[in-house]
Chains A and B, each alone.
Chain A
C-alpha cells in the first residue's frame, strides 16, 4: 500500500511539473491576419508621454518593432530602422518601437540610454518601454529586433526581419520590411509576409 502511495505521489509530482513547465513554455503570439494585441496598453516614451499602439495607428498601417539599445543586431540595424520608421510616418504608417528588455539584465537597455539613443539617432516616432514585457509576450516576440506590420484595418500582414543582412548594409539583397511597408502604403498585398533573422533573445521581466 505504501509503495502504491509513493508511486501515486511521484506520478502527481511529475504531472504537476510537466503541467507547470508546459504553461511556461507553450508557444504563443500572433499569426498573420491577427489583430494588434494589447493595443491599448500605455507605455512610457522617451519624451515622458504615455502612449499605446492604438495612439499611434496610421491611416495606411501600423509598424511595431521590438528592439533595444544593447543587442548587437539591434545596433547593426538601428540606423536602417530609424530611416525606415521616420520615412513611414510621412506615408500614413504609424510607427512605434518597443523596448521590452529588463534593464536589470543589461543596464544599457535602461530608460536613460533609450532617451539618449532616440535623440542621437533622431527618431521621430515613439520609443517606449514595455514595463512588464507583457506586450512583447502578447505578440509572441522572442528577439530583437523583430518587426510586425499591420494594415489599415489593423491586421498583421508582415512579421520578421528588417532585411537580409544585419552586419553589412551594402550587401543587403532583400529589404523585407521596406517592401512590406511599400505594399501597405499602396494598398497591395505584401509578397513576403514572414521572414527570420538571428537576434538577441528578449530579456523578459519576471511575470507579475
Chain B
C-alpha cells in the first residue's frame, strides 16, 4: 500500500513548479520559467475518473511513451484531433508510460508537441493499469481508447492509429455510436509501422 502512496507524492514533488497534482486544467499555461505541461501521476482509477468527469462529448485516452516510435509518429494526429475537436467537446487525455524517473523527458516531449494542458504519468502495477482500462488490452503501446460523453468505451485500438481513424471514432462517439474498427492486436501499427 505504501508504494501506491509514495509515487504520487514523488510525482507531486517532481512537478512542484505547477499547480496541485489533482489539477486537470486544460487552459493554456501562462508564460513562466518553463512551458512544459503538468504531468500528474495516475492509476487506471484516476484515468477513469477523468474520463467520466462531466462536460465532454467524447474522450480520447492515449497511452504512449517517449521511446515508443509509433507513439511519437501518431502524436501529431492526436494534437490535430485536439485542435479540431476540442471546441466541440473533445477531451484528450494523454498518459505517458515512461518510467517515473524519466518524467522530465516526457514533459519535454509534450512541450515540443504543443501540449498545453495537464497530462498524466502511469503509476503502479502494470497489470492493474492495463486491465483497469480494458481487459482486452495486451499491454502493447501505443493504445488508444475512445469514450462517449457518458464515459462508455466506444473504441479501443492497439498500435499506431491515424487522424482519419481517430476522427471517425470521435465523431461516432459524439453521436453515441461504436465505430466499426475496434481492434486488438495486429492492427494499423503492424501494417504501417515503418
A: which residues have CB within 8 A of B?
A: 18, 21, 24-29, 72, 102, 104-106, 137, 140, 142-143, 146, 161, 164, 166-167, 171, 195-204, 206-207
Contact = CB atoms under 8 A, between A and B. Distances in A.
Find the residue from A29, A72, A171, A198 having the highest chain B CB count within 10 A: A198
Find the residue from B140, B183, B194 having the highest chain A CB count within 10 A: B140
A69 to B, nearest CB: 13
Contacts of B142: 201
B180 A164 contact: no
B120 to A, nearest CB: 14
Given A143-B138, A161-B127, A197-B139, A203 B193 contact: yes
A164 B126 contact: yes
B187 A25 contact: yes
A52 to B, nearest CB: 22
B69 A105 contact: yes
B138 A21 contact: no
A201 B130 contact: no
Contacts of B189: 201
Contact of B127 (A24, A25, A29, A196): A196
Contact of B194 (A26, A105, A140): A105
Given A105-B193, A143-B141, A201-B189, A18 B180 contact: yes
A143 B126 CA distance: 14
B181 A21 contact: yes
A202 B140 contact: yes
A206 B127 contact: no
A37 B100 CA distance: 37
Interface of B: 3, 65, 67-70, 97, 99-100, 122, 125-127, 129-131, 136-142, 158-160, 180-181, 183-191, 193-194
Contact of B141 (A137, A166, A199): A199
A166 to B, nearest CB: 8
Contacts of B186: 24-28, 137, 142, 204
B141 A27 contact: no
B130 A72 contact: no
B193 A199 contact: no
Contacts of B125: 164
B115 to A, nearest CB: 21
A21 B180 contact: yes
Nearest to A106: B69
Contacts of B188: 24-25
Find the residue from B99, B100, B131, B190 having the highest chain A CB count within 10 A: B190
A201 B67 contact: no
